[in-house]
């Protein structure tokens, strides 16, 4: 029991460092926690062993077990990465003498291109809400702003009045890892945001609320509720339902690159810490150009 408590305290101490010193998001912390505790339980049940005695053979068998679950390469790599960071922590704490994960490398990811929408499809989706009522006007303003800025849905619904600068057409969002960024938006988004604000003022809709996008009851809009609204508009317009909450974000990045924006600028707008994350959008842009040539060029 004391040994179990010690191991739990080690994992909790590791997670605290990730939270306080690395500034990782709670979702990332939860993933690390799940990965570490799952491995600890497997080690005890399947190998009748403990963290201090973990060897390379244990890691090999654990990875084999993960492969047997038909997990994606991305998921297996994440779990391996969690263990790597955890055992580095244990080494620094001198809890272990040899790091059993140090010689293991991740699987090569087969990157699939994120789905995007054409400009015509985006226009159909954005024009779908009935703006004669509060819900439709709110949804139109949200869709316009999401496509204009490329923000994540979570960043969009967490916007507060103080995060929006109408005079300079800027929004301030809190991204992953607690990183703030300022994003400009165009006249279309500005017009619909202004109409939405005016509607709330005229109808006295929870003007005390600091949240910018609210439900009809005046409460903060949830991520799930807005995604449900997007699916409703996809169905209404006859667009493919095989679309993720990130689709407008993908479209934002792809259309910018297709129209000559540089990769570094798009990286800053999206809030990617690593340029390689943004580079996948160049493949989408090239793919669209290739498809266009094949379809329209006489010698395509």
Give the residue numbers annotated as catalytic, written as ranges.
152, 176, 246, 249, 272, 281
What are the phi and psi torsion angles at 164 (to 5°)? -115, 125
Contact 48, 3 (CB under 8 A): no
Contact 170, 184 (CB under 8 A): yes
- What residues have CB less than 8 Å from 269, skipping those under 6 apart? 149, 150, 181, 183, 252, 253, 256
- What residues have CB less than 8 Å from 135, skipping those under 6 apart? 129, 216, 229
Contact 129, 139 (CB under 8 A): yes
Q: Distance between CA atoms of 244 and 233, rounded to whole angstroms?
A: 13
Helix (H, G, I), strand (E, B) or coil at 80: helix
């Amino acid at each position: 029991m004391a040994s179990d408590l010690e191991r739990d305290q080690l994992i909790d101490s590791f997670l605290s460092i990730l939270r306080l010193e690395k500034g990782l998001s709670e979702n990332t912390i939860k993933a690390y926690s799940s990965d570490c505790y799952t491995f600890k339980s497997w080690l005890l049940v399947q190998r009748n062993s403990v963290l201090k005695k973990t060897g390379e053979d244990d890691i090999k068998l654990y990875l084999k077990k993960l492969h047997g679950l038909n997990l994606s390469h991305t998921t297996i790599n994440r779990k391996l990465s969690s263990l790597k960071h955890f055992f580095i922590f244990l080494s620094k704490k001198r809890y272990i003498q040899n790091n059993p994960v140090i010689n293991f490398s991740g699987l090569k990811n087969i990157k699939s291109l994120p789905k995007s929408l054409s400009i015509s499809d985006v226009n159909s989706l954005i024009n779908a809400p009935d703006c004669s009522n509060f819900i439709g006007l709110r949804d139109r303003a949200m869709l316009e702003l999401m496509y204009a800025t490329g923000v994540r849905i979570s960043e969009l619904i967490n916007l507060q009045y103080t995060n929006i600068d109408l005079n300079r057409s800027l929004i301030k969002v809190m991204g992953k890892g607690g990183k703030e960024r300022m994003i400009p938006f165009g006249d279309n988004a500005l017009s619909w945001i202004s109409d939405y604000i005016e509607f709330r003022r005229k109808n006295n809709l929870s003007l005390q609320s600091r949240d910018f996008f609210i439900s009809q009851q005046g409460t903060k809009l949830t991520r799930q509720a807005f995604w449900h609204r997007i699916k409703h508009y996809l169905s209404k317009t006859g667009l493919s339902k095989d679309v993720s909450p990130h689709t407008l974000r993908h479209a934002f990045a792809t259309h910018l690159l297709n129209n000559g924006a540089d990769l570094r600028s798009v990286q800053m707008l999206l809030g990617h810490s690593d340029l390689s994350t943004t580079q996948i959008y160049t493949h989408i842009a090239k793919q669209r150009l290739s498809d266009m040539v094949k379809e329209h060029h006489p010698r395509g």
